[in-house]
Amino acid sequence: MCRPMHDDGRDRVDIAIVGAGAAGLAAGIFAAEAAAGTVLRIVLLDSARTIGAKILISGGGRCNVTHESVHPEDFSSLCGTKPVIRNILAAFTERATREWFASLEVELKREESGKLFPVTDKARTILKALTDRCQALKVPIWTQHRVLEVHPSNGNGFLVLHEQGTLPARLVILATGGKSLPRSGSDGHGWKIVQGLGHKVTSTYPALVPLLLEDRLFHASLTGLSQQTEVTTLVDGKVVDRRSGSLLWTHFGVSGPVVMDTSRFWTIAHADGKPVEVRCNFWPGVNREEAERRLIEQVKGRPKLALSKLLAQQIPERLAEALCRACDIDPESKAGQLGRASRRTLVEALTGLVLPVRRDRGWNYAEVTAGGVPLEEINFRTMESRIRPGLYLIGEMLDCDGRIGGFNFQWAWATGYLAGRGAAAAFAVSGQTPQTGGP
Ligand SMILES: Cc1cc2nc3c(=O)[nH]c(=O)nc-3n(C[C@H](O)[C@H](O)[C@H](O)COP(=O)(O)OP(=O)(O)OC[C@H]3O[C@@H](n4cnc5c(N)ncnc54)[C@H](O)[C@@H]3O)c2cc1C
């Protein structure tokens, strides 16, 4: 990693990018490419000793770079700013991501789920391509440079106060991430910096996070088992989210894509003190009445079969046994012996089991943050702040979170692209110093 040659506060850079994660690296590359042939000085500062922790652990170490099909509906924000999200995604599409990585000599492959990964199946391929490109473009990455504050400098850019000194910068791109996985370096300090510059920050919540269940449920006995499940979240008795996907039982509770995607609705409602319920339908797409009708048919056809074996036609047998026991029904009993009341209880559990959620697994296990800087405070064409000209905000620190599947990296690349190009263009437009710093 490049080390600073002059970092004693005497040097001025044109663009200081705070945070060398996915969004910051993209911004550095696109800014330098847009400024090719000029003498713009661009530098990335990061608090970490070695950068890219989150990229390296992403996608189980394989980095799910993007998805074959990206839509605004794959994202959520607390402030409900879908048109802004749509415009940002349209400016740098999943196709642009593929082409960009191809230009960096990274071949991507599409998996059945639509997720795109490097063909090497190694996240390091992605990180190396990005840092190599920074090096080729002479964009240094100053590691162990935690930024403490950013101050406007009399309408003439900014002063970036970091743990090793002060850096005057004409423009600043903040890409400090959210609060997920704080040991990676994203500990939420970036929000304090933007608040100091006049921005709002919404409440923030762990998202894409596993859920811990009360010990009274059977989850621990099913550890490692997964199956397709339709999960419905109700807040104040109203359905706020319904989705299907793979649910994974664990020793602490539930995880897997459908639970991770659901979690933001639970964490937000719970933190806001609202009554929230997460219900599982283990027979996705089949409602209670239909499930009961089908169960009656099945029982008629195989009355002597053990109940758990009969249910195993729809769900894993271990789950069938656990559900029977949770309903005080012997899973070994003959299907034909199932009385009406027990059948109803069983069908209720099969199609609408309420998960006794104790809490989420916390920031250390959250993949992303829900909430952040409201998108209406940003010019979506350039990611420049509407509050503080010359400041650009990108990536996870913004109030936008994607579902599992490569959408959060797509957001990082897209916002990094817009800010990098936007910041470089600010110099091209004015021919020299852009107007910055003032509110
Ligand atoms: C376990 C896990 C797996 C994931 N898998 C995927 C996946 O496969 N696909 C996907 O799309 N998304 C995935 N994500 C989400 C994705 O990693 C993030 O959405 C994305 O990394 C956000 O990029 P960012 O650049 O905005 O923030 P970050 O990646 O968090 O980068 C922020 C950078 O800023 C630095 N920084 C923070 N504060 C300061 C400061 N004050 N001064 C200087 N530097 C600072 C940090 O050290 C860090 O390097 C995963 C996340 C996790 C935790």
229 C-alpha vs ligand 1 centroid, how far in Å?
Answer: 29
Same domain, 167 and 217: no
Last residue of a domain, one of 306, 329, 360: 360
Residues in contact with ligand 1 by the CB-under-6-Å rule are: 18-24, 45-48, 51, 54, 57-59, 63-64, 146-147, 175-177, 180-181, 185-186, 189-190, 367-368, 395-396, 406-409, 412
Count the domains in the chain. 3
CATH of the domain at 247: 2.40.30
Whether 193 shows a pLDDT value over 90: the answer reads yes
Same domain, 159 and 143: yes
**Span 327-384, pLDDT tens digits:** 999 999 999 999 999 999 999 999 999 999 999 999 999 999 999 999 999 999 999 9
Quick one: which atom of ligand 1 is closest to the CA of 51? 49
- Is 331 contained in some domain? yes
Cα 390 from Cα 294, distance rounded (Å) = 63
Angle at 215 between CA 213 and CA 220, to 5 degrees: 80
Quick one: which atom of ligand 1 is closest to the CA of 45? 43
Same domain, 241 and 325: no
171 C-alpha vs ligand 1 centroid, how far in Å?
Answer: 22
434 — pLDDT class (breaks 50, 70, 90): low
Q: What is the rounded average pLDDT for all residues in the chain?
A: 94
- Is 410 contained in some domain? yes
217 C-alpha vs ligand 1 centroid, how far in Å?
Answer: 34
What is residue 8's predicted lDDT score, i.e. its pLDDT? 42
Q: Which of 49, 58, 263 to mutate to test the pocket of ligand 1 (most atoms within 8 A of CB)?
A: 58
Same domain, 258 and 292: no
Q: What is the pTM of this model?
A: 0.95
Nearest CA to ligand 1 atom 39: 176
430 — pLDDT class (breaks 50, 70, 90): low
Whether 4 shows a pLDDT value over 90: the answer reads no
Same domain, 251 and 294: no
247-264: average pLDDT: 98
Q: Which of 17, 54, 360 to mutate to test the pocket of ligand 1 (most atoms within 8 A of CB)?
A: 54
186 C-alpha vs ligand 1 centroid, how far in Å?
Answer: 7
394 C-alpha vs ligand 1 centroid, how far in Å?
Answer: 11
- Structure tokens, 75: 């994202």
**Span 205-245, pLDDT tens digits:** 999 999 999 999 999 999 999 999 999 999 999 999 999 99
Same domain, 60 and 170: yes
149-162: average pLDDT: 92
Whether 3 shows a pLDDT value over 70: the answer reads no
Same domain, 80 and 69: yes
- Express as a percent the part of the chain with pLDDT over 70: 95
6 — pLDDT class (breaks 50, 70, 90): very low
What is residue 5's predicted lDDT score, i.e. its pLDDT? 38
167 — pLDDT class (breaks 50, 70, 90): very high
Residue 329 belongs to what domain range? 288-339
Nearest CA to ligand 1 atom 35: 19
pLDDT top residue among 438 and 27: 27
424 C-alpha vs ligand 1 centroid, how far in Å?
Answer: 23
Quick one: which atom of ligand 1 is closest to the CA of 22? 25
What is residue 7's predicted lDDT score, i.e. its pLDDT? 42
When mean pLDDT is compared across 74-78, 130-134, 152-156, 210-214, the lowest value belongs to: 152-156
- Is 4 contained in some domain? no
- Is 324 contained in some domain? yes
258 with 246: CB under 8 angstroms? Answer: yes
176 C-alpha vs ligand 1 centroid, how far in Å?
Answer: 8
Q: Which of 176, 383, 392, 413 to mutate to test the pocket of ligand 1 (most atoms within 8 A of CB)?
A: 176
1 — pLDDT class (breaks 50, 70, 90): very low
150-173: average pLDDT: 94
- Is 215 contained in some domain? yes
Same domain, 164 and 252: no
Same domain, 39 and 159: yes
Quick one: which atom of ligand 1 is closest to the CA of 185? 47
What is residue 244's predicted lDDT score, i.e. its pLDDT? 97
Q: What is the 3-state secondary structure (H, E, C) of the chain?
A: CCCCCCCCCCCCEEEEEECCCHHHHHHHHHHHHHCCCCCCCEEEECCCCCCCHHHHHHHHHCCCCEECCCCHHHEECCCCCHHHHHHHHHHCCHHHHHHHHHHCCCCEEECCCCEEEECCCCHHHHHHHHHHHHHHCCCCEECCCCEEEEEECCCCCEEEEECCEEEEEEEEEECCCCCCCHHHCCCCHHHHHHHHCCCCCCCCEEECCCEEECCCCCHHHHCCCEEEEEEEEEECCEEEEEEEEEEEECCCEEECHHHHHHHHHHHHHHHCCCCEEEEEECCCCCCHHHHHHHHHHHHHHCCCCEHHHHHCCCCCHHHHHHHHHHCCCCCCCEHHHCCHHHHHHHHHHHHHEEECEEEECCHHHCCEEECCECHHHEECCCCEECCCCCEEECHHHECCEECCCCHHHHHHHHHHHHHHHHHHHHHHHHCCCCCCCCC
Same domain, 25 and 168: yes
153 C-alpha vs ligand 1 centroid, how far in Å?
Answer: 29
CATH of the domain at 418: 3.50.50.60
58 C-alpha vs ligand 1 centroid, how far in Å?
Answer: 9
Long-range CB contact pairs, 319-326, < 8 A, 24+: 319/222, 319/225, 319/227, 319/249, 319/282, 322/218, 322/221, 322/222, 323/282, 323/349, 323/350, 323/353, 325/218, 326/217, 326/218, 326/353
- Is 6 contained in some domain? no
201 with 256: CB under 8 angstroms? Answer: no
What is residue 81's predicted lDDT score, i.e. its pLDDT? 81
22 C-alpha vs ligand 1 centroid, how far in Å?
Answer: 6
Whether 439 shows a pLDDT value over 80: the answer reads no
Same domain, 417 and 392: yes
134-155: average pLDDT: 95
Same domain, 167 and 35: yes
What is residue 11's predicted lDDT score, i.e. its pLDDT? 78
- Is 389 contained in some domain? yes
- Is 439 contained in some domain? no
